Amino acid sequence: MVTVNRNYLKLPGSYLFSTIGKKVNAYQSENPDKKIIRLGIGDVTQPLAPAIIESLHEGVEEMAHAETFHGYAPDLGYEFLRSAISRNDYQARGCDISEDEIFVSDGAKSDSGNIQEIFGIDNKVAVCDPVYPVYVDTNVMAGRSGEYNPGRENFDGIIYMPCREENGFLPEFPSEVPDLIYLCFPNNPTGSAITKDELQKWVDYANQNGSVIIYDAAYEAYISEENIPHSIYECDGAKTCAIELKSFSKNAGFTGVRLGYTVVPKALERDGVKLHSLWARRHGTKFNGAPYIVQKAGAAVYSEAGKAQLKEQVAYYMRNAKVIYEGLSEAGFSVSGGVNAPYIWLKTPDRMTSWEFFDYLLEKVNVVGTPGSGFGAHGEGYFRLTAFGTYENTVEAIERMKKM
């Protein structure tokens, strides 16, 4: 008789964004004249930059002619893209990552969900709390957790590292040494960043303990301060303990285009095996490459025109972040994030729960954000606003909140 993967049944329903959607729709239909401003979801709103559009059109045209048609892509991704990544994202920053350590994919969500698969089921997983839900959920689905505790809103067998105001929204070394450590900086949802010195401590910790860090650098393009590393490989020894995930979604607006990459250094070995060869095997067996036209568009991100246009696009969103951060600070809210990240993390006023504040904000000023508790137990009492709206809407939302 067929059995199902019962680990899936441990997952509580994925209610966060569907609950938000239902509440917003219900409010809108009762109040059809109200203009609701959405600063909840992490999706971008600006169109693709002209250099990307031009490259996409060119790629499409190549696919129209037999001489320039592209079928199956190489397993790791096209060399032209991997070499642009290696040069711009690594060599230019003094990180010795070669193009054959880079695996091009259809996005960091897939990679961050799939990467756990090359590890044994018995590994102990540590995550920040609050956290991007994919890291935990995919390890639960693979069987690396016990049951879910509805009261405590966490899973047995997962090590949670609380990130709260008290510790500057940075994780501390847990009492039990983890095998796999998921870190995301600049952070979603808190918008916090980690300095190079602080990250170096984690790299040293992982090397000393034989752990592996899975480092999600999806928001690297939003870093504005000097002492914040853009890649974990800026730290000494990271090549023997860290895998880095990178997205084109937020630096280039590719949320609907789908492109990302993962770096697995050849020097990274555990349990007598090179992790590079395991990930290569997974990539070659369960994936068939990102579309040629998308990889070509990815290369345009690194062209001179592309770089200039995307710098402006990131600046557009960071102006929003500043509007939110400064506006809410002035209004007396306790806010963090927003300086090296497109997310502002807000302490709910008057000891409201995250969901109470959600309802309050929706009903009082028709602004939608994301309850912090949706990202984990230690997100309770916090609230996430994103800088990915339009400037006009962002200004209006903050004006409304100031008047609450």
**Smallest gap from residue 258 Cβ to a second copy (A):** 5
Q: Is the dihedral of CA 180, 216, 328, 29 positive or negative?
A: negative
Distance in Å, CB of 314 to a second copy, minimum:
16
Nearest distance, CB of residue 125 and a second copy, angstroms: 11
Nearer to a second copy, 6 or 351 (CB): 6
Which of 93, 286 has the CB closer to a second copy?
286
Q: How far is the CB of 129 from a second copy (least distance, A)?
A: 18
Q: Which is nearer to a second copy, 112 or 336 (CB)?
A: 112
Query: Between residues 132 and 358, which has the closer beta carbon with respect to a second copy?
Result: 132
Tokens of 82: 């991997």
CA angle 363–365–371, rounded 5-degree value: 65
Measured from the CB of residue 48, what is the shortest distance to a second copy in angstroms? 5
What gap in Å lies between CA 208 and CA 402, rounded to an integer? 49
Instruction: Give me the least distance between CB of 339 and a second copy, in Å please.
Output: 24
CB of 18 to a second copy, least distance (A): 10
Rounded to 5 degrees, what are φ and ψ at 334? -95, 110
Give the separation between CA 338 and CA 325, rounded to whole angstroms. Answer: 6
In whole angstroms, the minimum distance from the beta carbon of 13 to a second copy comes to 9
CB closer to a second copy, 85 vs 180: 180
User: In 3-state terms, what secondary structure has residue 385?
Assistant: strand
Question: Can you tell me whether residue 277 is helix, strand or coil?
Answer: helix
Residue (101 or 179) nearer to a second copy, CB:
179
Q: How do strand 370-371 and strand 382-386 relate by DSSP bridges?
A: antiparallel
Q: Which amino acid is at 219?
A: Y
Contact in structure between 219 and 342 (CB atoms under 8 Å): yes
Nearer to a second copy, 374 or 381 (CB): 374
Taking the alpha carbons at both ends of the chain, their separation in whole angstroms is 59
Q: Which of 134, 55, 127, 51 is nearest to 310 (CA)?
A: 51
Q: Are 119 and 154 in contact (CB under 8 A)?
A: no
- Distances from the Cα of 58 to the Cαs of 61, 69, 93, 149, 297, in angstroms? 5, 12, 30, 52, 9
Q: How far is the CB of 74 from a second copy (least distance, A)?
A: 11
Handedness of CA 57, 62, 65, 71 (dihedral sign): negative
Nearer to a second copy, 49 or 398 (CB): 49
**Cβ closest to a second copy, residue 118 vs residue 161:** 118
Length of the chain: 404
By CB atoms closer than 10 A (0-12, 13-18, 19+), residue 174 is: middle
Which tokens belong to 381? 């009492």
